[in-house]
Structure 1
Amino acid sequence: MDTEQSAEATEFALPRSRAANERLHALVPGGAHTYAKGDDQYPEDLAPVISHGRGAHVWDVDGNRYVEYGSGLRSVSLGHAHPRVTEAVRRELDRGSNFVRPSVVEVEAAERFLATVPTAEMVKFAKNGSDATTAAVRLARAATGRPRVAVCADHPFFSTDDWFIGTTPMSAGIPAATTDLTVRFPYGDLAATEDLLTRHRDEVACLILEPATHTEPPPGYLAGLRELADRHGCVLVFDEMITGLRWSEAGAQGLYGVVPDLSTFGKALGNGFAVSALAGRRELMERGGLRHSGERVFLLSTTHGAETHSLAAAMAVQATYAEEGITARLHALGERLAAGVRDAAAGMGVGDHVVVRGRASNLVFATLDQNGQPSQEYRTLFLRRLLAGGVLAPSFVVSSALDDADIDHTVDVVTQACAVYRKALDAGDPTPWTGGRAVKPVFRSRS
Structure 2
Amino acid sequence: MPIDDLLDSGLRMLITSMVDNAGLTRAKTVPAARVRTAARDGIGLSPVFALMCTDDAITTSPLVNGPVGDNRLMPDLDAAAPLGPDRTVFWAPADQLSQDHEPVGICQRSALRRQEARAVAAGLEVKLGFELEFTVFSGSREEPAVATLGPAYGVLATLELETFADDVLAALEVAGVPAEQFHPEYAQGQVEVALPPASPLQAADQSQLARLVIHRVARQHGLMVSFAPITVAGFVGNGAHIHFSATVDGESFDGLSEPARHLMAGIVRELDGLTGVLAPSVLSADRRKPSSWAGAYACWGVENREAAVRYVPGSVTGRPGSANCEIKIGDPSGNVYLSAAAVLAAAVNGLEHELTLWPGYDRDPSTYPEREQPPRLPLTVEDALVAFERSAVLRSALGDEIVEPFLAVRRHDAATLGVLSLEERVRALRWRY
Name the TM-score, length of structure 2 as normaliser: 0.29
Query: Counting strand residues as a fraction of each chain, which structure ranks higher?
Result: 2
Query: Counting helix residues as a fraction of each chain, which structure ranks higher?
Result: 1
Q: Which entry has the higher C-alpha Rg, 1 or 2?
A: 1
